[in-house]
């Protein structure tokens, strides 16, 4: 089964492939917001129907949260699992979008054609690259080149609460020789990448309560504790003057980067000034003495993702609020145990509370970092296949984002993952005006065809 | 003209007086929110009609913002100005209200009957005590006991932007022998109070901008500056470990409290534990070494009234936001110049910005503190009249709240103000479930009848 006619069909079928993606992008499957529960269901149904249209035995599988989609296709050779997620991030602030986030379109831009809309890059556009490669392969050869299990979840953007139970309950069904995960990016527009190091994540929400009701700041201000001030003190104390995180023992299980990996990363010639300039910045803001790629790929972080308290509307209200809240996330690396870090964080923060204040914690997820074992020959085969498609050879890289599913595949299924994706730094995922380059989509689809050929025929 | 039949009529007319107040409370005149502009207008119309129904020559006077209401009534003796405001605070968080804030009702509570609804105490209920006293006086004697100018504004809760221009443009019309302002409280349920010291206020909104768009905290976290963290540092730095405000030169123009005033306040036997216990607190949180009454009446403060940035919805979003904002207010005393303090605050905060961050300031008002000259014999007459109505003698007190109009009456009209009101600490003004005791309303109305008698016949 030659890959060449498959590549030709991918090229000629591109307009139809884009139409199918736009259809999926029109479904507002925001998993973190209960108001969109039906739409998540709808996106799962759409994927089941699409897999079935290719003759794949697919079904929607209910969970406590949003459903999983699982499909099986028989074939010769090795057994692959392909993973993507059909849920998307919320769209606020909506006012910053130039068009309805769920009315996607193909746009001409100075940098080329893009698919604009929520989920275009994260992860519906990426997910569809693999489906389109399979569709073309099947259309050309009447069958897929190997046995493939398709596995799509709908809770990736909301902490994947159903993922571990589902993997445990269906481990026999989902266990394969290797997993392919399409939720990462290119190193740059010339260099494709296979991610071999993923940061873990701990997501905590804290709410400080002072007075038992909102107060008038004139009648009580100065005498009564203000929870916004308490919260600000706590957040300000989470980093020292060198940008290091102050949670006790936080760096105990953070490994030094191996010299050879450090050397490989330095060779990538990453231009952090250009990277920051894309988002209006100029200066590295993280840990003193670390390079940008270290900060992004191999060092842990602590960020505040949201804060709120008191009056935030137009005008002014002289309220002394009863509560103030923040959403705080830690990116974890190496052997950092998210549950140990969580306990230490909670202890530290609780110890900082002044009299009359209480604190509530809500956990929004905790997953360790994962490091892939690149000894598996599939990694080199995939790297060669990617290098054939793109201008420059593919690289093994780290990733700043947390894709805990790779760790769960390792620990629950015993399956190693290859994380291959075609996103770009300027895709504005999780932000207004998210896009995915048509080039990412097209060459991404072609890349999967080449990888399928390499893994099954090499 | 004896006050006794007026008091008797106030007693017998109480049910009708309450009905009139409920009618006014049903108008959602939230001045700070442009969505309620029409309702502010409606409240002004209601007051004009009510004054006219008493035979007072009243009219609505347009401004750049919400209208003023001015009414004139002829009569013998001294010329008084009465001031109140018809606008109210926003109602959020609406979910904490036990009923619609603008569907007021009289409720039985363990502490007695209350009028429940937004504006019941601040300031519609208080404003109406004076109108009801005038209505009863007029009904009983056919005329008011003296010449009275009624002056109501609709922007008190949103920084009074039209007040100074309006006072300046109409100074001749509004100049009187003394002004009466009803927007303060009792010292406690037995002791009425005349406020002789009022704190000023500076209201600032700051917005920190880092990246030019919201970012993914995995892709950029650790390398890109986070404006929530910058804002938290700034807020944390506004006070030192003794609760003193760190703005340079902040205390330069803060006077020591005169010994005799300090002694008088100590004699009031203020129970700060009970005061704080009403709102679920136990410990004084302000400047070390100061009494509660000092903190509330004669010391400046800095409070954060609102903060917001990033994702605040349900669930979690790993965003690194482009901006974070806070609304910060300073209560000022003595000779502190709000414009000087504003400049120093802005300089201090701007100097704290790390690279790549910008800051925007919005001013929401700036007014100096004011201290009344109690030598005017009206103060002693009013104190005696109040002492006749309430169980214990009236006190001269300070006020934590800022009522800048008293300062403007001094500086623009040359008119001294007596601030007399009947609110209680547990009225929950500016908070959900605001109330005004029926007793405050009833005895407040009776108090004004007695004060009118004392000022005009004494």
Indicate whether B342 and B391 sit together in one domain: no
Q: Is residue A135 one of the residues assigned to a domain?
A: yes
Which of B367, B393, B420 lies at the terminal end of a domain, its last residue? B367
Indicate whether A35 and A87 sit together in one domain: yes
Which of 218-277 (A) contact B at CB < 8 A?
218-226, 228-229, 231-233, 235-239, 272, 275-276
Q: Is residue A286 one of the residues assigned to a domain?
A: no
Instruction: Check residue A458 and give its pLDDT.
Output: 53
- Number of folded domains that form chain B: 2
Instruction: Check residue A36 and give its pLDDT.
Output: 97
Q: Is the pLDDT of residue B457 over 80?
A: no
Interface check B324 vs A, CB under 8 A: yes
Q: Is residue B71 one of the residues assigned to a domain?
A: yes
Instruction: Check residue B217 and give its pLDDT.
Output: 86
Cβ contact A34–B314 (<8 Å) = yes
Q: What is the radius of gyration, based on Cα positions, of chain A?
A: 23
Indicate whether B325 and B388 sit together in one domain: no
* Model pLDDT for residues B69-123, shown as the tens digit of each residue: 999 998 888 999 999 999 999 999 899 999 999 999 999 999 999 999 999 999 9
Q: For residue B216, which residues of chain A lie inside 8 Å, CB to CB?
A: 401, 429-431
Torsion angle (degrees, nearest 10) of CA A72, A75, A80, A85: -40
Q: Is residue A279 one of the residues assigned to a domain?
A: no
* Model pLDDT for residues A142-163, shown as the tens digit of each residue: 999 999 999 999 999 998 999 9
Indicate whether B167 and B52 sit together in one domain: yes
Interface check A323 vs B, CB under 8 A: no
Q: Is the pLDDT of residue A335 over 60?
A: yes
What's the rounded mean pLDDT across residues A338-354? 98
* Model pLDDT for residues A282-314, shown as the tens digit of each residue: 999 999 999 999 999 899 999 999 999 999 999
CA atoms within 13 A on the CB side of A372: 31
Which of 405-424 (A) contact B at CB < 8 A?
none
What's the rounded mean pLDDT across residues B425-430? 91
CATH number for the domain harbouring residue A233: 3.30.70.360
Count other C-beta atoms under 10 Å from residue A360's C-beta: 11
Q: Is residue A270 one of the residues assigned to a domain?
A: no
Cβ contact B236–A239 (<8 Å) = no
Q: Which of B220, B147, B124 is nearest to B421 (CA)?
A: B124
Q: Is residue B293 one of the residues assigned to a domain?
A: no
| Range list of β-strands (E), B32-119 | 57-61, 68-73, 79-85, 105-109, 112-116
| A180 phi and psi angles, rounded to 5 deg | -115, 125
What's the rounded mean pLDDT across residues B260-284? 90
* Model pLDDT for residues B256-270, shown as the tens digit of each residue: 888 877 888 888 889
Q: Is residue B277 one of the residues assigned to a domain?
A: no
Instruction: Check residue B51 and give its pLDDT.
Output: 98
The alpha-carbon gap from A272 to the nearest alpha carbon of chain B, in Å, equals 9
* Model pLDDT for residues A8-24, shown as the tens digit of each residue: 999 999 999 999 999 99
Q: For residue B296, which residues of chain A lie inside 8 Å, CB to CB?
A: 219-220, 222-223
Q: For residue A364, which residues of chain B lie inside 8 Å, CB to CB?
A: 315-316
Q: Is the pLDDT of residue A260 over 90?
A: no
The alpha-carbon gap from B320 to the nearest alpha carbon of chain A, in Å, equals 6
Torsion angle (degrees, nearest 10) of CA B329, B334, B336, B338: 50
Instruction: Check residue A217 and give its pLDDT.
Output: 86
Which of 169-208 (A) contact B at CB < 8 A?
199, 201, 203, 205
Indicate whether B22 and B55 sit together in one domain: yes
Cβ contact B229–A236 (<8 Å) = yes
Instruction: Check residue B1 and give its pLDDT.
Output: 79
Domain that holds residue B241: 200-254+300-367
**B458: confidence class by pLDDT, cuts 50, 70, 90:** low
Indicate whether A317 and A204 sit together in one domain: yes
Indicate whether A335 and A380 sit together in one domain: no
Q: Is the pLDDT of residue A75 over 90?
A: no
Cβ contact A305–B282 (<8 Å) = no
Which of A320, A352, A367 lies at the terminal end of a domain, its last residue? A367
The alpha-carbon gap from A188 to the nearest alpha carbon of chain B, in Å, equals 14
- Preceding peptide of A291 cis, ω within 30°: no
What's the rounded mean pLDDT across residues A29-58? 97
Indicate whether A415 and A306 sit together in one domain: no
Instruction: Check residue A44 and give its pLDDT.
Output: 98
Indicate whether B361 and B397 sit together in one domain: no
CATH number for the domain harbouring residue A160: 3.40.630.10
Cβ contact B304–A229 (<8 Å) = yes
What's the rounded mean pLDDT across residues B386-406? 89
Q: For residue A245, which residues of chain B lie inside 8 Å, CB to CB?
A: none
| Strand-strand pairing, A370-371 and A147-153 | unpaired
Q: Which of A198, A260, A186, A201 is nearest to A399 (CA)?
A: A198
Q: Minimal Cα distance from A430: which residue of B?
A: B216
Q: Minimal Cα distance from B310: which residue of A?
A: A306
Q: Minimal Cα distance from A31: which residue of B?
A: B315
Closest by Cβ to A315, choosing from B237, B316, B364: B364
Average pLDDT, chain A: 94
What DSSP letter does each residue of A374-387 carry, written as one string? TTSHHHHHHHHHHH
Q: For residue B231, which residues of chain A lie inside 8 Å, CB to CB?
A: 232, 307
As a whole number of angstroms, the distance between CA B92 and CA B73 comes to: 38
Q: For residue B121, which residues of chain A lie inside 8 Å, CB to CB?
A: none
Which of B323, B347, B367 lies at the terminal end of a domain, its last residue? B367
Indicate whether B227 and B123 sit together in one domain: no
* Model pLDDT for residues A361-412, shown as the tens digit of each residue: 999 989 889 888 877 899 999 999 999 999 999 988 988 777 889 989 999 9
Q: Is residue A207 one of the residues assigned to a domain?
A: yes
Indicate whether A105 and A150 sit together in one domain: yes
Instruction: Check residue B403 and give its pLDDT.
Output: 81
Indicate whether A339 and A428 sit together in one domain: no
């Amino acid at each position: 089964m030659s890959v060449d006619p498959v590549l030709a069909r991918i090229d000629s079928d591109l307009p139809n492939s884009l139409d199918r993606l736009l259809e999926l992008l029109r479904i507002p499957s925001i998993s973190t917001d209960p108001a969109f529960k039906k739409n998540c269901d709808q996106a799962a149904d759409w994927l089941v129907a699409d897999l079935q249209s290719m003759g794949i035995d697919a079904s929607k599988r209910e969970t406590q949260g949003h459903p999983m989609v699982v499909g099986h296709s028989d074939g010769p050779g090795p057994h692959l699992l392909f993973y993507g997620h059909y849920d998307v991030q919320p769209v606020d602030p909506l006012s910053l979008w130039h068009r309805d986030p769920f009315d996607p379109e193909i746009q001409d831009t100075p940098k080329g054609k893009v698919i604009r809309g929520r989920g275009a890059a994260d992860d519906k556009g990426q997910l569809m690259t693999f489906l389109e490669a399979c569709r073309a392969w099947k259309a050309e050869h009447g069958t897929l080149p190997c046995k493939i299990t398709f596995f799509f979840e709908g809770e990736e953007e909301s902490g994947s609460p159903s993922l571990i139970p589902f993997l445990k309950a269906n481990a026999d069904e989902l266990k394969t020789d290797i997993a392919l995960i399409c939720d990462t990016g290119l190193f740059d527009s010339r260099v494709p990448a296979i991610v071999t190091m993923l940061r873990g994540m701990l997501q905590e929400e804290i709410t400080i309560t002072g007075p038992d009701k909102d107060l008038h700041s004139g009648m009580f201000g100065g005498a009564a504790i203000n929870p916004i001030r308490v919260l600000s003190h706590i957040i300000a104390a989470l980093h020292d003057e060198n940008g290091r995180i102050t949670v006790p023992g936080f760096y105990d299980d953070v490994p030094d980067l191996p010299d050879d990996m450090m050397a490989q990363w330095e060779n990538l010639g990453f231009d952090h000034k250009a990277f920051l300039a894309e988002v209006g910045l100029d200066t590295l803001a993280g840990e003193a003495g670390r390079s940008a790629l270290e900060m992004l790929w191999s060092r842990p972080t602590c960020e505040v993702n949201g804060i709120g308290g008191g009056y935030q509307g137009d005008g002014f209200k002289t309220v002394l609020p009863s509560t103030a809240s923040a959403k705080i996330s830690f990116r974890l690396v190496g052997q950092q145990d998210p549950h140990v870090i969580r306990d230490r964080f909670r202890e530290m923060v609780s110890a900082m509370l002044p009299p009359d204040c209480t604190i509530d914690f809500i956990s929004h997820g905790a997953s360790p970092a994962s490091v892939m074992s690149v000894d598996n020959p599939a990694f080199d085969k995939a790297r060669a296949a990617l290098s054939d498609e793109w201008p420059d050879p593919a690289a093994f890289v780290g990733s700043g984002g947390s894709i805990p599913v790779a760790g769960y595949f390792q620990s629950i299924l015993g399956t190693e993952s290859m994380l291959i994706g075609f996103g770009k730094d300027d895709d504005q995922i999780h932000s207004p005006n998210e896009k995915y380059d048509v080039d990412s989509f097209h060459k991404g689809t072609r890349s999967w065809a080449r990888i399928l050929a390499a893994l099954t025929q090499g």
